[in-house]
A and B are shown apart, each in its own frame.
Chain A
């Protein structure tokens, strides 16, 4: 279980990192490495070069403002999870991050790295998709913003070009009158979810105006289903659009069952969250 040989570069400037990625077709970015190093050790990936971005300055930020949370490429999961401000601006971040592996992995793994790793069994790609966030990437050709809806191409495949470095993820703030919830079923807490479900519910007074549900470990890419018009049977609406995958961990039927159990629960919990937040901002 040892990685194949690779060239290694530890740039100290962004320009140097981008030039290296542009000059080497088979290069991969190494940030936290908590998903990449196992892939290398199992020889499921054998990049010709690793560009270790851990020496780059000014990329470990967690910036919060009323519009949302901006997370730099080198911000570790533990840092994001520990940010009280981030949890206030977008509570789904902390709810989901507490399910990302174990604290030891979260000490090293990065949130942006997890997103561009594009694993549909991981929590943060789905969360970004559900919240309609985005990722900023840079290359020698400049900077561009990729909306989450256009980010995930397939299993472990993002739409980043080979020479692009993800520098920042943006998670929009939770609007007034909106609520979120997250639940997942795993064989042990911290393992990959058999199924994970998050909901984002927006309300206007007591009326639910929009309800969307995101799913982890159900399909090849993170999936979000709008259940606004099916609030009395959100699981049925979700399953109509989902084609649960079968693998060594669970049958498709069992995944469908978990979807049917968890979906109404998280929609109800997110609705309660929305209403309790509405009461907080406008006391009777």
Chain B
């Protein structure tokens, strides 16, 4: 058997350039984890259903298990590692997950964080229904959706959104 042809691919991830040499069939999710060492992107179902591997491609949420690394040459990629503020502090969405206990086992969390970061950019002040719609493509096997919805609304508040109806409830729970 002849060895599989490898492709030299230049990936732009979180503002850095990664030169990787991969077979054409290397899923982008695997290239990020194994070739770039960015293991924050999680791989769940590997056929586009669960959303754990969601990253931002040119700012838009995309399943990294449904793209090949060789297809990502011209794209600006943001993984969960790239969401943190420049000074190392948590982004509003990350802070909101911390505030509201938006993660349980944490496996699905990177996909939620990337999806919600882009979702709030497009709709900075979502209603609860819109928050649910925003996360509808991501599965949490702990079924922690109540607190994830709260986290969306909390992140919106941190960013200056005006929907205040969840505020009292969140503070009450914290204490």
The answer, yes or no, to whether B5 is at the interface (CB within 8 Å) is yes
Contact A105 B136 (CB under 8 A): no
Q: Which residues of A contact B23 (CB under 8 A)?
A: 5
Residue in B closest to A4 when the chains form the complex, CB atoms:
B25
Of B12-20, B60-68, B101-109, the segment with at least 4 beta carbons within 8 Å of chain A is B60-68
Most buried by B among A1, A30, A108: A108
Contact B67 A37 (CB under 8 A): yes
Interface residues of B in 104-160 (CB under 8 A from A): 115, 119, 133-134, 136-137
15 further A-B contacts with Cβ under 8 Å, apart from A34-B48, A37-B27, A107-B57, are A5-B24, A7-B24, A34-B63, A37-B47, A38-B48, A41-B46, A41-B65, A50-B68, A52-B70, A54-B71, A104-B51, A104-B137, A107-B61, A108-B67, A189-B133
Q: Which residues of A contact B62 (CB under 8 A)?
A: 104, 107-108
Q: CA separation between A104 and B73, bound complex, in Å? A: 20
The answer, yes or no, to whether A141 is at the interface (CB within 8 Å) is no
Interface residues of A in 1-54 (CB under 8 A from B): 1-8, 10, 30, 33-34, 37-38, 40-42, 50, 52, 54
In angstroms, how far is the closest chain B Cβ from the Cβ of A248? 15
In angstroms, how far is the closest chain B Cβ from the Cβ of A171? 24
The answer, yes or no, to whether B7 is at the interface (CB within 8 Å) is yes
Q: Which residues of B contact A102 (CB under 8 A)?
A: 51, 136-137
In angstroms, how far is the closest chain A Cβ from the Cβ of B122? 9
Contact B137 A105 (CB under 8 A): yes
- Select one of A1, A5, A42, A108 contacting B63, CB under 8 A: A108
Interface residues of A in 186-209 (CB under 8 A from B): 188-190
Q: Which residues of B contact A4 (CB under 8 A)?
A: 25
The answer, yes or no, to whether B4 is at the interface (CB within 8 Å) is yes
Most buried by A among B30, B46, B51, B134: B46
The answer, yes or no, to whether B54 is at the interface (CB within 8 Å) is yes
Residue in A closest to B134 when the chains form the complex, CB atoms:
A103
Q: CA separation between A101 and B51, bound complex, in Å? A: 12
